[in-house]
A and B are shown apart, each in its own frame.
Chain A
């Protein structure tokens, strides 16, 4: 069974940094592109970016590429999202997804709240 389990969310102050993790199981992690998607409290979905199966290439939403970095550790079957200089508009639930063309499996999500 494919499982994606995110962690690392919480309450952070504007301007701070935060790193989310996603541990994958139930499939060969190193065979798949992976991505992060976020959903605002108003239910808007935004694709953040993805990373190639070997970690050699990444794509980002243009509005986020200067502050967010996606990486992976295939030995640990773990995907990461490094968020820097966070803003109130980054408040959202962050999902880790496996990509097969479009995202097919999603984690349960982790909440990030940016507030002073």
Chain B
């Protein structure tokens, strides 16, 4: 199985901060990575597909980058509505595997 190592596990941020979340794949997954946001009590919502493509309606402060084994989700200007758990997912090979999640909170 491809292991997705996600960091940090959690972090406190402030409104306006630039936030970076990392996912490292245990083998080359190309650009077959997606990022999800899960707000408290809600289902996950996909933000990014094919590593760097924003889903419809996703604010442009969310940016995905990377290829191969190293991937990043950047929130350029943290907003009050962005606290959530964020997950990466690889779908390059079966079984699909998720990162362990990053919990973002506002200070």
Contact = CB atoms under 8 A, between A and B. Distances in A.
Interface of A: 35, 43-47, 49-50, 59-62, 95, 100-104, 106-109
Given A45-B89, A103-B46, 12 more contacts: A45-B101, A46-B98, A47-B96, A49-B95, A50-B96, A61-B95, A100-B49, A102-B96, A103-B89, A104-B46, A106-B44, A109-B43
B95 A101 contact: no
A43 B95 CA distance: 19
Contacts of B55: 104
27 contacts: A35-B96, A43-B101, A44-B98, A44-B101, A45-B44, A45-B89, A45-B98, A46-B98, A49-B95, A60-B95, A62-B95, A100-B49, A101-B32, A101-B34, A101-B50, A101-B91, A102-B34, A102-B46, A102-B49, A102-B91, A103-B44, A103-B89, A104-B46, A104-B49, A104-B55, A106-B43, A107-B43
A44 B100 contact: yes
A108 B43 contact: yes
Nearest to B91: A102
Contact of A101 (B49, B98, B100): B49
B5 to A, nearest CB: 14
Contact of A45 (B50, B87, B94): B87
B106 interface: no
B48 to A, nearest CB: 9
Nearest to A93: B43
Interface string B78-107: 000000010101010011111011000000
Contacts of A59: 94-95
B43 A95 contact: yes
A52 to B, nearest CB: 13
B89 to A, nearest CB: 6
A59 B96 CA distance: 10
Given A101-B50, A104-B49, A104-B55, A47 B34 contact: no
Interface string B24-56: 000000001110000000011110011000010
